[in-house]
Amino acid sequence: MAELDEAKIAEIVGRVMQRVLPQAQATAPAATKEPYCAPAPPRYSPPSGPAVHGGRRMGVFDDMDAAVAAAHVAFEQYEAASLEVRYAVVAAMRACGHRELEKISHDAVAETGLGRYEHKLNKNRLVIDKTPGPEILRPQAWSGDHGLMLTERAPYGVIGAITPTTNPTETIICNAIGMLAGGNAVVFNVHPGAKGVSNYLVERLNEAIVAAGGPANLICSMASPTIESAQALMHHPGIRLLVVTGGPGVVKAAMNSGKRAIAAGPGNPPVVVDETADLDRAAQGIINGGSLDNCIVCVAEKEIICVSDVADRLKKLLVAKGAYEVKGQHVQRLQKLVVAEDGLHPNKDWVGKDASKILDAIGISAPSAQMIFVEGDEDSPFVQGELLMPVLGFVRVPTAEDAIAMAKRVEHGFGHTAAMYSTNIDNLHAMARSINTSIFTKNAPTYAGLGLGGEGYTSFTIASPTGEGLTNAVHFTRERRCTLVDSFRIV
Ligand code: NAD
């Protein structure tokens, strides 16, 4: 018997669904479309007209109104379809991601100039395989003398999503799987600097969804996204929920939009190493994490805080394993090159660049360097700023207690991500409680908290400002309760 791989299964399911979907749409009783125990939320009515179905390329539109209207048409069809269609749609998106993996990873680096191809492969593969699908939406039942109460997760409708340049395709795949798993449609306003690869992916995902029996335009995007089109999305009456992933500007804009918003913002993840740590493990973990995609990932380690007793040994191991320590006169040159004049933000020209290229530019030849570190004090821009490049500050402090306190300060209250290497359970416990971040990894790179080499599902929209943490389909759905009085308790 021929082997069935995921792509083949998606294709077969797709063919079956194409036959089943029209019937499902035709036979879906009106009563199942609206809750009978609560009034329906107000619905946006897309304007009628030829633009509703028209995108030059599937899902990619020139105009925000047209994109939102098309997504609404898709949502209405999707809502009427069976859960089997949802599962097929999500399987098809995963299969599409695998088919396109190499191209999108390559094109993201080529278009944005950020990160590393081999790391993009890993990041994209992670979201394709480990973003939860509809299975995460578990209905809950509560029964008692008064009968049965059931809660289920219902879609919002059309979600507006804004994506970053640092993980352009990863965020689209992750958001789209989660949002469509929840029964929604989505309109993306992608980062203008990544629109080529992002819109290419939107088209391929739509094709895969249609081939699997889903409606066209479940995923829409703007051909030429701008800040203005992002604003239009944020204030569009057809958008029920906003999900934004990016820096402080977009987070603030979303939270001030007057709409319900899930906001995933910046971080400045500290990694603490105390005197009890397995230093070999710490050095390797810090290099692996701090160099991941040239440190543009929001969770990637951005500064090292080490207890003095072991600081020199840790530095030696970092260098032995492929990091480069910049010292002396080179520190000023490095700072002038990669830090903006405000001393807090990066010089954008160097964001996401290879460590060896950065070193080259300050006259140091170290072609195999994976990561750079610079020792300084707490005020150093290499410690304070989210530089988004493989250049980490290094600070030594007297005790683990001091390190934990400093980590909290330099994380700036983002509540995003942190790590600690220690074998002292009390110290690990103290930092876990104090740092109060969405992700905290112990004795591992922070990416383990994304499920890469660690347990659990993944997400590339880690919503710390609004509190959802690693977002998934649960957050892209609203809870609905249905109560049946005096019946259906079976014991
Ligand atoms: P960015 O803030 O420059 O852009 C992100 C997106 O927001 C883009 O699509 C951009 O066009 C849009 N945008 C920016 N300002 C806006 C405004 N005022 N109104 C409407 N839209 C606006 O960020 P970036 O350089 O693409 O990504 C890097 C930043 O994103 C870092 O700070 C990083 O930590 C953060 N990030 C966070 C997560 C997370 O899950 N928390 C994930 C990825 C990136």
Structure tokens at 287: 């290099």
> Does ligand 1 come within 6 angstroms of the Cβ of 298?
yes
The answer to whether 152 and 483 have CB atoms below 8 angstroms apart is no
Q: Which residues of 286-303 are buried (b: 16+ CB within 10 A; e: fewer)?
A: bbbbbbbbbbbbbbbbbb
What ligand 1 atom has the least distance to the C-alpha of 225?
11
Structure tokens at 215: 């409606």
> Does ligand 1 come within 6 angstroms of the Cβ of 127?
no
> Does ligand 1 come within 6 angstroms of the Cβ of 165?
yes
* Residues 97, 104: Cα–Cα separation, whole Å: 9
pTM higher than 0.85: yes
How many angstroms does the Cα of residue 305 sit away from the middle of ligand 1?
27
How many angstroms does the Cα of residue 317 sit away from the middle of ligand 1?
34
Known catalytic residues? 298
Give pLDDT tens digits along the chain (491 positions). Answer: 344 454 554 454 344 334 333 333 333 323 222 222 223 334 445 444 333 334 458 999 999 999 999 999 999 999 999 999 999 999 999 999 999 999 999 999 999 999 999 999 999 999 999 999 999 999 999 999 999 999 999 999 999 999 999 999 999 999 999 999 999 999 999 999 999 999 999 999 999 999 999 999 999 999 999 999 999 999 999 999 999 999 999 999 999 999 999 999 999 999 999 999 999 999 999 999 999 999 999 999 999 999 999 999 999 999 999 999 999 999 999 999 999 999 889 999 999 999 999 999 999 999 999 999 999 999 999 999 999 999 999 999 999 999 999 999 999 999 999 999 999 999 999 999 999 999 999 999 999 999 999 999 999 999 999 999 999 999 999 999 999 999 999 98
- Indicate the SS3 state at residue 188: strand
pLDDT, one tens digit per residue, over 46-87 is 444 333 334 458 999 999 999 999 999 999 999 999 999 999
Structure tokens at 248: 């402080």
Structure tokens at 180: 């469509």
pLDDT, one tens digit per residue, over 373-396 is 999 999 999 999 999 999 999 999
How many angstroms does the Cα of residue 455 sit away from the middle of ligand 1?
27
* Residues 431, 296: Cα–Cα separation, whole Å: 24
